[in-house]
Structure 1
């Protein structure tokens, strides 16, 4: 199952991306373990290409509204850290407020269960 990052699914999305990157031996580009060689080093171009590849994979796994916010990230690690900062907060006050508003504004009809209301 392929999922796109949206405003509500960072935790399962990040787990899926982490597994995918680990399977491609590219996890080090988001977790800070990749050692970037000096620009004079012949391995620099390969490292930079791999970093851009990881950025592209992450961008392609986002909904367009999310992509637009992060489109100018320079490295895969900075992109990942920015995503975690914005979407990975368990105590994200703005998301809590948004959910409270959705619950407050939702109306239950007589033939709808509570779980069906939450699923909308």
Structure 2
């Protein structure tokens, strides 16, 4: 009796050649399309989405195109075209038109990387400039921290922390965390000066999330009324009052009695002394 043939990889849910019934060419994997200047954030989102579909090998080159006579060729072609459709749905129409006739998902992925991942210098400069100029202002502590963390994560895409097995990477991560804590504390409003001073006196500094939690606990106690700035009309009135001349009245000479020559009280203009 002949042995049963091995199951097809396309029917195995753990295989990269497997396609779920919900997978179709019209699926949009990410909400933000690639327009060029957002390549790094788009690339990260797409990498996670394609990895979740177990199709990362089709874009990073680890799953190569088999020979046309190989048993896997049909399954590879099916999955490759599916991934190409997902990529085209996730980039702007102008960019999609430039890669429409590329035959493999790996070639499209490589082409996009070569075109849009080279502008690291200006992007890093802009992100670091935004980090240095960001302050809490009218934002809540939570909103301010969220914006700052988004900039940190964006910067990490351009300047990833190197991975190694030595202890240097631990020291480097500690330095990055300390730098972020200082950036967060520097941007807080002056009403948090006391909490900031207490945190800076801690040795060693607590983790970043702990620092955020400590500052967040102080926020309800910092609702201090700040008087609104003077409007132009108010400023004009204030300036007018300060520049208004003071009225002065001439001093009256004290009257002199014509009869005896004595000096009388001011306001009395009589030819005879009182009494």
TM-score when scaled to structure 1? 0.72
Q: Which runs of 5+ in 2 are unaligned?
A: 1-29, 123-275
Could you tell me how far 1:37 is from its partner in structure 2?
A: 2.2
Q: Larger radius of gyration, structure 1 or 2?
A: 2
The whole-number CA distance in structure 1 between the counterparts of 2:63 and 2:36 is: 28
Could you tell me how far 1:7 is from its partner in structure 2?
A: 2.1
| Equivalent of 1:52 in 73, 81, 94 | 81
| Equivalent of 1:87 in 78, 98, 116 | 116
The whole-number CA distance in structure 2 between the counterparts of 1:60 and 1:74 is: 16
1:108 aligns to what?
A: none
The whole-number CA distance in structure 2 between the counterparts of 1:50 and 1:7 is: 26
Could you tell me how far 1:90 is from its partner in structure 2?
A: 2.9
2:61 aligns to what?
A: 32
Runs of 4+ in 1 over 6 A off after TM superposition: none
The whole-number CA distance in structure 2 between the counterparts of 1:49 and 1:25 is: 14
3-state SS of 1:71 partner: coil
What is the aligned residue count?
A: 93
**What is the CA deviation profile of residues 18-47 of structure 1, one whole-angstrom value per residue up to 9, with x for unaligned ones?**
101100110000111003322111210110
The whole-number CA distance in structure 2 between the counterparts of 1:58 and 1:37 is: 21
Please state if 1:76 is matched with 2:105. yes
2:32 aligns to what?
A: 3
The whole-number CA distance in structure 2 between the counterparts of 1:15 and 1:91 is: 15
The whole-number CA distance in structure 2 between the counterparts of 1:42 and 1:7 is: 38
1:106 aligns to what?
A: none
**Once superposed, what is the RMSD of the aligned Cα atoms?**
1.6
The whole-number CA distance in structure 2 between the counterparts of 1:14 and 1:51 is: 18
Could you tell me how far 1:91 is from its partner in structure 2?
A: 4.4
Higher helix share: 1
Could you tell me how far 1:74 is from its partner in structure 2?
A: 1.2
The whole-number CA distance in structure 2 between the counterparts of 1:91 and 1:8 is: 10
Flag the structure with more relative contact order, 1 or 2, with Cα contacts below 8 A and sequence separation at least 6: 1
The whole-number CA distance in structure 1 between the counterparts of 2:77 and 2:53 is: 16
Q: Which runs of 5+ in 1 are unaligned?
A: 97-120
The whole-number CA distance in structure 1 between the counterparts of 2:92 and 2:49 is: 18
